[in-house]
Amino acid sequence: MTTQRAARYGKQFTITHGDYSAVICELGATFRKVQYQGKDIVVPFDENMQQSNTCQGFVLVPYPNRIKGGEYDFEGAHYELPIDEHARNTALHGFGYRYYWTLEELTESSVTLSWRVPNINSYPFDLTVTVTYTLTDAGLEIRVNAANNGDVDAPWGFGIHPYIANGGHAYGAAVTADNDRCRLHLKARTHLTVDENLVPTGEEPATGVYDLTDNPLLKGRNFDDGWTDVEREADGSAVATFTRIDGMKVAVTGDETINGWQIFTADVMPDDQHPAGVAIEPMTCNANAFNTGKHLIVIKPGESASTAVRIGVVD
């Protein structure tokens, strides 16, 4: 008798609608695959892949990006998070991706998973986080809600970490040449300056290579950078549009709670960890917000915070 082992990313939930399909994982509520007309629009990965610093498809909760030294103060108390990046001495991208989430509902075109934050010293706040993935004619919609079950305020931030596929099939360092032929349109007025650990030290106008408002080619733009002061559409949304080498345009759209973006071209990653695309990360707050307080969301007891983002092909 043989027993088939479950995937290391847990149960796999496949949803479909029209031209779109997606696979969502039990581990971290991670999105592992998103396709349009059979083409990957998010760089896929194996269901048994070891989690790495590429953070592919991660849901970034209860905070996105880095926290300096893994330490923060909140309402008179001091907290110390585990260090994820030892070379940079930072806590990175929350810790929701480390846990298996609970399936709440699964339909042909949507899946909802939830996770109650464990009572840990570094983040003792009692939140229940719910993520609903829904495929529509416009693409993959991701709605996240964090509800405060406790009796104290809770600090909160959210982001996602998709690598938008560049349309090529290169491996390792050769991916950079394909990324160089892609374009990125992002309307944001401010670029974040950082220290050697990629922790923000200040802000500057998004000029030169950091000006992405005219949809430039990415050649000569090797980024692991943050932007803020987004220019919004009429409906309050913030949009980044990536044009692939095959001409397909993929938009990452966030609602009015999205206040920052991180763009990572992954040139520094080892060959076997270099996704064939560019990470375009919408966030409610930029790096180190638990210390700076900028755009930090504070959820009152009995209240909740919600954000909606979408990944889809556009004309």
pLDDT of residue 2: 46
> Domain ranges in the chain?
12-312
C-alpha span between 164 and 239 (Å, rounded): 14
pLDDT tens, residue order, the chain (315 aa): 445 578 999 999 999 999 999 999 999 999 999 999 999 999 999 999 887 778 999 999 999 999 999 999 999 999 999 999 999 999 999 999 999 999 999 999 999 999 999 999 999 999 999 999 999 999 999 999 999 999 999 999 999 999 999 999 999 889 999 999 999 999 999 999 999 999 999 999 999 999 999 999 999 999 999 999 999 999 999 999 999 999 999 999 999 999 999 999 999 998 888 999 999 999 999 999 999 999 999 999 999 999 999 999 999
CATH T-level assignment (fold) for domain 12-312: Beta-galactosidase; Chain A, domain 5 (2.70.98)
Q: Which helix (H) or strand (E) holds 268?
A: none
Radius of gyration of the chain (CA): 19
CB 262 within 8 A of CB 279: yes
Six-digit token string for 120: 């840990």
Taking CA atoms, 312 is separated from 23, 196, 252, 277, in Å, by: 15, 34, 7, 15
**pLDDT value for 4:** 59
The string over 212-244, giving b where at least 16 C-beta atoms fall within 10 Å of a residue's C-beta and e elsewhere, is beeeeebeebbbebbbbebeeeeeebbbbbbbb
- Phi, psi dihedrals of residue 98, rounded to the nearest 5°: -85, -10
pLDDT at position 50 is: 85
Strand, coil or helix: what is 272?
helix
d(CA 17, CA 3): 33
Q: By the 8 A CB rule, do 22 and 33 touch?
A: yes
Strands 12-17 and 139-148: unpaired
59 with 51: CB under 8 angstroms? no
For residues 267 and 275, give the distance between their C-alpha atoms in angstroms, rounded to a whole number: 9
Dihedrals φ, ψ of 176, to 5°?
Answer: -60, -40
pLDDT at 193: 98
DSSP letters along 186-232, please?
A: E-EEEEEEE-TTS-EEEEEE--GGG--TT--B-TT---EEEEEEEPP
CA atoms of 243 and 167, how far apart (whole Å): 9
Residue 306, beta-bridge partner list = 145
Q: Report which DSSP code applies to 63.
A: -
